[in-house]
Structures are given as C-alpha cells and as structure tokens.
A and B are shown apart, each in its own frame.
Chain A
C-alpha cells in the first residue's frame, strides 16, 4: 500500500490490456538497449535505423529473421500448451536435441530415400521429442515430482548424448575426424526459399502447429480441460478431469513440437548432426520467453518468436555494422525478459484509491480463489 492508494487484484486482464502492456514492456526494453548503444558511442536512432534497414527492409536479412524464428515458433507453440496447464516444461532444449538425434538416425541409417525420407524424419523427431517429455510427465502425475527439475536435467542428458554420438558411434567418416556425423543424403535436406536458408517446410509446420494448438485449446474438450487444469486445479478435479491422461497428452504434444524444431535444424540448416552448441543456440530456453511473452497464446507465439528471432538476427548486424561487442545480444534478451517481468504487476494489479474510512489492514476485499503469480 502506498499512501492513499493500494494495489488491488484485477479481475481479468482483457486482451487489449495484455497486448498493450506487453508492447510497453518491449518498448521500454528497446529504450534501455538504445541507452546501452549510446554508452558504447553508437547513436541509438541511427543504430535502430540500420537494424531495420538490414533485417527488415532487406530480403535476405528478413529471411534470416524468419529462419531463426522457426525453431522458436515450433518449440514456443508447444510450450504455450504446456504452460497453459502450468506444466513448466523447461526441457524444450533437450527435446529439440533428441528430435534432431532421431531425425539424424533416420537420415543416416534407415535406408529410406526419396520423398519418404523427410516426412519420416519429422515423424521420428516428433516421437523422440515426445518420449523425452514422457518421463517427466509420468513422474509428475504419478508421483508429484517437480517437472522443472526433471525436464532441466534431461536437457543435460540430451546434450551429453549428442556429444557422445558425434564423437563416437555416429562420427562421420568423411570429415577427417571432426566431430560431426556424415552429411545427409540430399533427399533428407529440406528445400529453402531461393538462396536463403529459410527452410519453408518447417515454417509451414510451425504455422500449422500454432493453428492446431489454438484450435485444440479453444474448441475441444481437451483444450478446455487443459485450461481448467491451469487456472483452477481444484475445480478441474471436481469436474472429473483425468489429470493423468490430459497431462500426458499435452506434454507429448509440447515435447513433440520441440522435437520437430530439432528436425528442422538438422534437415534444414546443418544437414548433419553437429555438436549441441551449434545445433541449438539456446532455442529451447528462448522458446520459454516466446511462450511467456505471448501470454501463452499459441498464435501470439508466432509473433513473439519473430520478435525474438529479430533480436538474434539484429545481434549480427550490431556486431558488424555497429561494431558493438558480441555480448550485446544476450544483454538485450535479458533486458526484454526483465521488462516483461516488471510489467506483470500492471496486468495483475491496479492502483485504486482507498476511501478515507477504510483502515490500512491490507486485506484485499473479496479476492478470487486464484493462484498467485499468473495471468490468464
């Protein structure tokens, strides 16, 4: 409580407010980034102008933005589903890597060729990613084990698994001993738009996934159950929602989507299994930001993924054209996140004037039975 005002819990934040506040957070983050530019002797306005020029007004630059957004879209959409049910899947990074492993396995060893290969890779990647999420899901619904830790741990297991494979059993014979797998058969290499690196089949998948998840959430019983589990678990229990099946289903989809992102990376960009640090430049973790910034809205995740892809692509421009240090990108991402968090209270609370009679007991009148810490 501050003087004659107090923070009162808001009933529900309408979409206009949500987007407005999110936008404001992003703008504040950009302003802070501009200040950072100035600190390094780069004029902020000119800097942003260059960024826009090179990453949006330039066809190739724009293709890079979209390319980087693709894995963020897929993983991010999956995460919106999981987060809606408050299943905190921090394991998208590992699920992505496992999807890449499965796809590489199919490409290198399955003996398939021709037009069957790519779909098989995607199917395998989805399945593998889903399986990687299965363990944490089962542990949570059956034993109540914290999914944040289990999914996080499996990220590391996945990293070391990939490293072991590319240094050991799957090491390529054609690269004079360097730690990569063999190059994939051309049938396993996804087509791209023109000479850019935009592998459009995966992009299409991402958009379809977003639409599918949005439809699931809004129009099916499953989606309704997911949302109820997230907003009010007690009510869900009363209503007889099968937590076991629903959680399993949503985690499988969420983790599978991240697996698809991994397939896209190996089939669309690298065309071989490479080391984890090159395969995923933190996509699984950035996808968390994507999902949260989109307020767990799958279609919104497409937009926020583009935004974060833009930040990453801008990082290159910042280094080359603006001569800024390479660490700027990480700092900018962190600033965006911090601003998002800082903006949350505006969505959950509003300042209301205390009528003179009421005493400063601090008890909010008629608070709903809502869990602390979340919006929608």
Chain B
C-alpha cells in the first residue's frame, strides 16, 4: 500500500511541479546574470490569460502557448527596461509588475471566465517507459508533454550554463560585471536577454496552467505559484538540476498535504517547503568556502560602467 502512495505522490509531484520548474528555470537564468525578477507571478498570470485567449479563439493550445511565452517576454522586457537600462531598484520593479500584472489580467480576463478550454493539451504516454512493471503505468502514463519537456529543458540549461561559452558569459555577467565588461562582453544586452528568457519561461509556466493543468481562466489562478517558483530558484541554489529536485519536493509536499490529511493538518505540510528553503539557504551559507553554492555576486545590483 505504501509503494502505491509513494508512486502516486511522485506522479502528482511531477505534474504539480511543472509550472514551478519552468518558471524557476527562467528565474535562475535571470538571476545568474545578476537581475532579480520579482515579477514572475505577474508574468505567469499574464501568460496564462493570453495563452487561454489565443487557444480558445484559435482552437490550438500550442499556439496559445506561443502567445503565453510572448506575453511573458513582453512583460520581462518592461522589467529589463526599468531594472537594467534605467537601473532602478530591481525588487521594486518586479513587485510593481506583479501587482500590475495581477490587476491587468483580472481586468482583461473578465470576458473569458467560466468557459472550459475547448481544446486543451492532452496527456501523453511515454511509449517504452510506460511498460515498465509497477512504476511505468503510474509515472509515465498520465502526464502532460510540458512536464517532460520541462525536465529536458532543465538538463539542457544545466549543460549550457556549466559547459558552454554562452553559459560562461551569463555567469560572469552575474558574478563580476566589471570584469566581463572589460573583456568586451555587452553586459547590459546579456542581462536583458537573460531577463527576457526568464519572462518566456514564466509565460510558458502560466500557459501550462490555463492550457493543460486546469484548462480554463479564472482570476488569480496562479494563486502564488510564481512566488513559490522564486523561492525554488534560490532553494535550488541557482542550479537547474537542483531545481528539478526542488520542484519535485514542493510538489510532493503539496500533494501529500491532501493524501495524508487524516494524519497531519494540511497547513503544516504546506508550510514545509518554505521552511526548507530557509534551511537550505542557511546550510549553504554555513559552507562559506565553497564558491559553487553562492548567489551570483552581483545579484540585485544594477550595472553601470564606471560606477562602483
């Protein structure tokens, strides 16, 4: 009986973690380049709305996903303009976008509430994996394509960040922008690109919600997932592979808060991931010598040539 619980928890964790993973991966890239984006929630919900509108009107959920990604990118461009070009306070800029995004999406979305998406994204079944005894039917049958794509993107991002020149550039811009600048790297442009990438990912995360997970539109349907993704990016110590683990952990706690309801008060279980994040940050700070655990040095600081 317990194996069934473990397997179904993993399966549900995979599903629930999908939007978290996508959004967190985007945030990781942005923060690796030195820019904090507190606007993830706003970008997610705007992505969810436009994705739904386009998919509902066109009948094609994947087209909706493209629209969601584009919306996320547009919102991120605004954040990049304020935070990177105008060098305003990054935290405030992101926060403003979230507040604005939530309100705007509610406003525009009024006409689209209450109808199911007529053509939602379907479940996929992974061909050989699903035949694995015991594990196969539970884990590999009933998931969305975006779940698996998210995992692939995470691994790809890890590879790019760690082992390619582009990754090195992004990381240097985040660690030591002055040195990067001196080496001829267009710091501002790299940061803008990283932030926009983050927006695309957040948009996709939002699109997943309204096109697959819960195919419809409702005001505030992201329900704080963007903030969780933010926490996750840090909990994962800015590493895409750890982000997978972090996302699954958050997802597992969430689904366990329902399946273990007769044994634990659900609120205490739902609290856990947030406490875990603080724990993770504390533990890594304790290992001061190990550079690979730290936040990008220049995180949160706008860069201007010639200024300290």
On A, residues with C-beta under 8 Å from B are: 9, 88, 90, 135, 139, 143-146, 148-150, 152-154, 156-157, 160-161, 163-164, 167-168, 285, 288-289, 292, 325-335, 337-338, 340-342, 344-345, 348, 362-364, 367, 369-374
* C-alpha gap A335/B100 in the complex (Å): 7
User: Are A164's CB and B268's CB within 8 A?
Assistant: yes
- Please, which residue of chain A has its CB at the minimum distance from the CB of B303? A372
Tell me, yes or no, whether B18 is within 8 Å of chain A by CB: no
Interface centre among A160, A163, A292 (most CB of B within 10 A): A160
Task: Point out the residue from B36, B86, B270, B282 that lies within 8 Å of A139, measured CB to CB.
Answer: B282
- What residues of chain B lie closer than 8 Å to A345, measured between beta carbons? 86-88
Q: A156-B271, A157-B274, A362-B305 are in contact. Are A337 and B89 (CB under 8 A)?
A: no
Taking CB as reference atom, which chain A residue is nearest B305? A362
Question: By the criterion CB–CB under 8 Å, are B307 and A364 in contact?
Answer: yes
Residue among B99, B107, B234 having the largest count of chain A Cβ atoms under 10 Å: B99
Question: Looking at the complex, which one of B92, B219, B227, B307 makes contact with A288 (CB distance below 8 Å)?
Answer: B92
Is B82 at the interface (CB under 8 A from chain A)? Answer: yes
Binding site for A on B (CB under 8 A): 36, 82, 86-93, 95-97, 99-104, 106-107, 110, 219, 224, 227, 230-231, 234, 265, 267-268, 270-271, 274-275, 277-278, 281-282, 285-286, 295, 301-308
Q: Collect the chain B residues with CB atoms within 8 Å of residue A161's CB.
A: 267, 271
Asked whether, in the complex, the Cβ of B275 is within 8 Å of the Cβ of A157, the reply is: yes
A88-B91 contact in complex given A139-B282, A337-B100, C-beta closer than 8 Å: yes
Contact A362 B306 (CB under 8 A): yes
Q: Chain A contacts of B306 at CB under 8 A?
A: 362-364, 367
- Contact of A144 with B285 in the complex, beta carbons under 8 Å: yes
Q: Please give the distance in Å from B291's CB to the nearest CB on chain A.
A: 13
Does the CB pair B267–A327 fall under 8 Å? no
Q: What are the residues of chain B within 8 A of A364 when measuring CB–CB? A: 304, 306-307
- B24 → chain A, closest Cβ, in Å? 13
Smallest Cβ-Cβ distance to A372: which chain B residue: B302
Separation in Å of the B284 CB from the closest CB of chain A?
8
B162: min CB distance to chain A, Å: 23
Query: Is A160 a contact partner of B227 (Cβ separation < 8 A)?
Result: no
Distance in angstroms between the alpha carbons of A167 and B277 in the assembled complex: 25
B89 touches A374 (CB 8 A): yes
A143 and chain B: residue at smallest CB distance: B285
Checking A292, A325, A367 against B89 with a beta-carbon cut-off of 8 angstroms, the contacting residue is A292
Q: Return the contact of A331 from the options B97, B100, B305, B308 (Cβ within 8 A).
A: B100
Which A residues touch B95, using CB under 8 A?
285, 288-289, 337
Docked-complex contact A373 and B87, CB < 8 angstroms = yes
Q: Is the CB of B97 within 8 A of A334?
A: yes
The docked-state distance in angstroms from the alpha carbon of A330 to that of B219 is 13
Are A145 and B87 touching (Cβ within 8 A)?
Answer: no
In the bound complex, what is the Cα–Cα distance between A135 and B267 (angstroms)?
21
Min CB–CB distance B185 → chain A (angstroms): 15
* A370 proximity list for chain B (CB < 8 A): 307-308
Expressed in whole angstroms, the Cα–Cα distance for A150 and B295 within the complex equals 14
Q: Kindly state the separation between the CA atoms of A213 and B270 in the bound complex, as whole angstroms.
A: 37
Q: Which of A285, A329, A337 has the most CB of B within 10 A?
A: A337
**Nearest-CB distance from A75 to chain B (Å)?**
15
A157 touches B282 (CB 8 A): no
Chain B: which residue is nearest A348 at the CB level?
Answer: B87
In the bound complex, CA of A327 to CA of B274 (Å): 29
**Distance between Cα atoms of A337 and B93 in the complex (Å):** 8
Q: Contact check: which of B100, B295, B302 meets A334 at CB < 8 Å?
A: B100
4 additional A-B residue pairs with CB within 8 Å, beyond A150-B281, A338-B82, A372-B308? A337-B92, A340-B96, A345-B87, A372-B87
The answer to whether B282 and A143 touch across the interface, beta carbons within 8 angstroms, is: yes
Chain A positions within 8 Å of B36 at CB level: 148
Q: State the CA gap A203–B230 with chains docked (Å).
A: 35
Instruction: List chain B residues, Cβ under 8 A from A333.
Output: 99-100, 103
The answer to whether A337 and B274 have CB atoms under 8 Å apart is: no
B86 touches A344 (CB 8 A): yes
State whether A328 and B93 are in contact (beta carbons under 8 Å apart), knowing that A153-B278, A341-B86 are contacts in the complex: no
Asked if A342 and B267 make an inter-chain contact with CB atoms under 8 angstroms apart, the answer reads no
Min CB gap B244→A, angstroms: 20
The list of the 9 closest CB pairs from A to B, nearest first, reads A334-B100, A330-B103, A337-B96, A327-B106, A331-B103, A143-B285, A164-B267, A334-B99, A160-B267
Beta-carbon nearest neighbor of B304 in chain A: A372
B90 to chain A, nearest CB (A): 7
CB distance from B82 to the nearest CB of A (A): 5
Contacts of A334 in B (CB 8 A): 96-97, 99-104
* B218, chain A: closest CB distance, angstroms: 13
